[in-house]
């Protein structure tokens, strides 16, 4: 009996030791032990019943109803050559009848969304492969015309198209020049803030191309340095900062039959955030905004009559706000020609509207909650699909509703975060589900929500997680400076209410992004557990100015970014100090980008509360950031100097008492390292001690070459040494 007891005790001890396996930064960001399984990106085919995937060197075809079985291999790069060489396909696009493929190879990133590539055209019937262009310079944004007879693309800031029958490459524009004129794509700030890279659009009859022309010759330049060779390489690009001059943007329409370029008579605008052809090939909708982004106009361009190559414009709809109007991609034209679909916050919450060409707006969804994303429209059956925060700002659920606002139906079945990708024709969708403590489950459904199959259950990741015996994040309501705020808290697994614990805030707090979401966050989630393993309590909060609690809550920070958010974060920290299990003298905060801005304000304005702060790639004065983003919330520095100065961390460094770590990538094209350098200057001038680390040749994300693991080891060491 004694031997048996000892044996059982040994087994229990071994089990306990196994359950207490330790997390490390290397396991998270070097070995990628907690990366989950994902569905490889897929492209729905035109009939809506099949889809394709790029798997290694092959493009394989599958049926939605039997997603685990290959129906056909459409392209095999291992057996297809050009000039005797195999090509490595990185992306692909079909023409309308799916008889031809555009194959993108040698993709090279430019900024966040833009890239260059070498393109090839593959005929799926003849199996013939040919290059799009013989020019040695790479192309951008290659796209088939709707009838599949042409391919338009951008090269060296000019727009071209190739006639596939003749093989001729035809020039649409000739004046493109780096840091001066851009045709058919976007400048830096449009790409970053309006999410535009493709700046040309085929008409439905394939006879016309509408395109953007940016004249950025008068926009001021910013230069970054790349440290690799004996002498640093400089990279200079146009970056319009708050209050500074923008590109002059125009819309032209090129007629492929005549070769004429027609300009449009747009009036009283600063920005053109979207353009889109209607089903009628002679009607183009152009969205324009004023500089404050408080007025959005829908302009209808009708191609006939054309006089002196100038096309007249009629404004058919306009929306204004005392603050700003949001831009999205929800411009969907109705096939009956009666109007289009748009989402708007005009009634205080983001909802879906039908806008008639007569300017009348009819609300389709309704309630004291926000639509998160418009997912698509089944034109045949008149059904809209969307996700919303109806269950709360931290949740996302999938719904369908008829165009007349009736027949609302919830399709998602599990509370948490649901997202969906629909097939052509809206017959099927892939649902991506997770919650704050559970990795993603990816499932295939028909349009009514019926489950067809589970594509990914992440069982292997769940098995790895089970070895660690983690605690769970819990949603809480915090008391902010003026009302309740959504938050979550993660306590150590062996939490003892009689002990005193340090508090670590992980924040973002800015417009357009919530950190308090019922969603699995992968590596970041694991780092929070690593800190809990080290006996820290980890907290996050969404203050005023964040998403999905209505327009008033989101836009309350207008003209004073940072003020209310900081007041809320400080208030939450002060309230936590009153808890018996909190070590009131050990409260720290960390943030990245806007979060770095917030952590910098917290350690200065909240110097009596926060002992430690880490700011990664922070904005330190909104004057240094781009004008489209900044002026949307702050107007220009010339109009709102107090709003800029009162809430810039560089103007509060004299208050600093605690430990402060600044981190930046010096090749950050988004939040320039200038922000950190200006902060350093102010800190030095005030005689303040701080820590600084610069990652050479790294952008805003600070990754590659072991940088991410190095960064989080540095963060962990700083936390353990100073909190």
pLDDT tens figures, 522-578: 999 999 999 999 999 999 999 999 999 999 999 999 999 999 999 999 999 999 999
pLDDT single digits (tens) 461-480: 999 999 998 999 999 999 99
Q: Which residue has the higher pLDDT, 308 or 2?
A: 308
Lookup result for tokens 């010759």: 217
Q: Are 464 and 60 in contact (CB under 8 A)?
A: no
Per-residue tokens: 402 = 């008829």
CB within 8 Å of 688: residues ≥ 6 apart: 653, 654, 656, 660
Do residues 695 and 617 lie in contact, with contact meaning Cβ atoms separated by under 8 Å?
A: no
What is the C-alpha separation between 682 and 386, in angstroms, rounded? 47
Parallel, antiparallel or unpaired: strands 261-264 and 310-311: parallel
Specify the 3-state DSSP secondary structure of 51: strand
pLDDT in tens, 274-332: 999 988 899 999 999 999 999 999 999 987 666 666 677 889 999 999 999 999 888 88
Return the domain boundaries, the chain. 472-722
Q: What is the pLDDT of residues 221-276, one digit of tens each?
A: 999 999 999 999 999 999 999 999 999 999 999 999 999 888 888 989 999 999 99
Q: What is the distance between the alpha carbons of residues 183 and 160, in angstroms, rounded to a whole number?
A: 10
**Alpha helices (H) in 255-311, listed in sequence order:** none
The alpha carbon of 474 is separated from its chain's Cα centroid by a whole number of angstroms, namely 26
Please give the Cα distance from 632 to 624 (Å, whole number): 15
- Distance separating alpha carbons of residues 555 and 682, to the nearest angstrom: 30
- CATH class for domain 472-722? alpha beta
For 246, which DSSP code? P
Q: Cα–Cα distance between 131 and 137 in angstroms, integer?
A: 12
- Contact of 52 with 59, CB cutoff 8 Å: yes
pLDDT at residue 307, as a whole number: 62
Q: Say which DSSP state 614 is in.
A: E
Whole-angstrom Cα distance, residue 502 to residue 536?
Answer: 5
Q: What is the pLDDT of residues 605-659, one digit of tens each?
A: 999 999 999 999 999 999 999 999 999 999 999 999 999 999 999 999 999 999 9
H or E segment at 675? helix 674-685
Q: Can you tell me the distance from the alpha carbon of 372 to that of 327, in angstroms, rounded to the nearest whole number? A: 13
Beta strands in 457-522 (DSSP E): 474-480, 483-490, 501-507
In degrees, to the nearest 5, what angle opens at C-alpha 510 toward C-alphas 646 and 527? 120
CB 67 within 8 Å of CB 430? no
Q: What is the pLDDT of residues 99-109, one digit of tens each?
A: 999 999 999 99
The Cα–Cα gap between 594 and 511 comes to 9
Collapsing DSSP to helix, strand or coil, 646 comes out as helix
Name the pLDDT band for 5 (thresholds 50, 70, 90). Answer: very low
Pick from 245, 254, 249: nearest CA to 266: 249
Rounded Cα–Cα distance for residues 319 and 551 (Å)? 15
Q: Using 50, 70 and 90 to split pLDDT, how confident is the model at 84?
A: confident
First to last CA, the chain: 49
DSSP 472: -
Taking the C-alpha atoms of residue 695 and residue 702, their distance in angstroms, rounded to an integer, is 7
Q: Are 723 and 504 in contact (CB under 8 A)?
A: yes
């Amino acid at each position: 009996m004694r031997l048996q007891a000892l044996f059982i005790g040994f087994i229990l001890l071994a089990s306990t030791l196994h359950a207490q396996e330790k997390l490390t930064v290397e396991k998270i960001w070097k070995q990628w032990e907690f990366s989950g399984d994902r569905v490889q990106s897929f492209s729905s085919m035109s009939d809506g019943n099949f889809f394709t995937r790029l798997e290694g060197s092959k493009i394989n075809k599958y049926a939605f109803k039997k997603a685990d079985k290959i129906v056909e291999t459409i392209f095999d790069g291992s057996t297809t050559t050009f000039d005797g060489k195999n090509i490595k396909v990185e992306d692909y696009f079909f023409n309308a009848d799916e008889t031809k493929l555009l194959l993108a190879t040698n993709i090279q990133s430019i900024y966040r969304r833009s890239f260059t590539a070498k393109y090839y055209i593959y005929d799926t019937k003849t199996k013939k492969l040919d290059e799009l262009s013989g020019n040695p310079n790479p192309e951008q944004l290659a796209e088939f015309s709707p009838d599949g007879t042409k391919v338009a693309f951008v090269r060296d800031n000019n727009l071209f198209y190739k006639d596939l029958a003749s093989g001729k490459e035809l020039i649409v524009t000739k004046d493109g020049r780096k840091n001066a004129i851009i045709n058919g794509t976007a400048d830096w700030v449009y790409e970053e803030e309006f999410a535009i890279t493709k700046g040309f659009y085929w008409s439905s009859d394939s006879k016309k191309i509408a395109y953007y022309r940016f004249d950025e010759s008068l926009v001021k330049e910013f230069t970054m340095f790349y440290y690799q060779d004996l002498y640093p390489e400089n990279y200079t690009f146009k970056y319009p900062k708050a209050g500074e001059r923008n590109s002059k943007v125009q819309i032209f329409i090129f007629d492929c039959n005549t070769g004429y370029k027609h300009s449009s008579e747009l009036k009283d605008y600063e920005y053109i955030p979207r353009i889109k052809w209607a089903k009628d090939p002679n009607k183009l909708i152009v969205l324009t905004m004023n500089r404050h982004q408080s007025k959005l106009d829908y302009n209808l361009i009708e191609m006939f009559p054309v006089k002196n190559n100038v096309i007249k414009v009629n404004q058919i709809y306009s929306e204004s706000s005392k603050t700003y109007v949001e831009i999205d991609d929800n411009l969907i034209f109705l096939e009956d020609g009666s109007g289009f679909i748009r989402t708007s916050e005009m009634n205080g919450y983001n909802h879906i509207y039908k806008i008639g060409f007569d300017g009348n707006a009819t609300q389709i969804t309704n309630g004291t909650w926000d639509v998160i994303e418009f997912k698509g429209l089944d034109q045949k059956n008149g059904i809209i699909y969307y996700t919303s925060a109806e269950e709360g700002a931290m949740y996302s659920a999938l719904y369908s509703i008829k165009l007349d606002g009736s027949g609302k139906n919830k399709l998602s079945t599990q509370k948490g975060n649901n997202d969906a990708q629909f097939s052509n024709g809206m017959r099927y969708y892939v649902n991506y589900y997770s919650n704050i403590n559970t990795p993603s489950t990816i499932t295939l459904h028909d349009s009514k929500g019926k489950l067809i199959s589970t594509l990914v259950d992440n069982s292997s990741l769940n098995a790895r997680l089970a070895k660690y015996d983690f605690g769970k994040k819990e949603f809480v309501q915090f008391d902010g400076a003026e009302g309740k705020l959504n938050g979550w808290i993660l306590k150590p697994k062996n939490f003892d209410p009689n002990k005193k614990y340090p508090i670590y805030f992980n924040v973002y707090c800015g417009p357009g992004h919530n950190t308090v979401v019922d969603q699995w966050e992968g590596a970041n989630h694991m780092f929070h557990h690593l800190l809990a393993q080290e006996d820290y309590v980890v907290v996050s909060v969404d203050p005023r100015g964040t998403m999905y609690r209505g327009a008033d809550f989101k836009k309350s920070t207008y003209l004073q970014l940072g003020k209310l958010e900081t007041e809320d974060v400080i208030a939450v920290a002060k309230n936590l100090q009153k808890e018996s299990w909190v070590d009131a003298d050990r409260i720290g905060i960390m943030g990245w980008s806007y979060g770095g801005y917030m952590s910098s304000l917290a350690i200065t304005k909240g110097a009596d509360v926060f002992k430690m702060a880490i700011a990664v790639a922070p904005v330190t004065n909104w004057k240094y950031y781009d004008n489209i983003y900044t002026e949307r919330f702050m107007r220009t520095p010339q109009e709102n100097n107090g709003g800029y100065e009162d809430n810039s961390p560089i103007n509060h460094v004299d208050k600093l008492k605690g430990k402060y770590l600044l981190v930046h990538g010096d090749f950050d094209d988004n939040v320039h390292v200038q922000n950190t350098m200006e902060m350093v200057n102010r800190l030095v001038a005030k005689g303040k001690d701080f820590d600084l680390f610069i990652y050479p040749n790294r952008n805003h994300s600070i990754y590659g070459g072991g940088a991410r693991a190095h960064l989080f080891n540095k963060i962990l060491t700083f936390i353990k040494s100073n909190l």
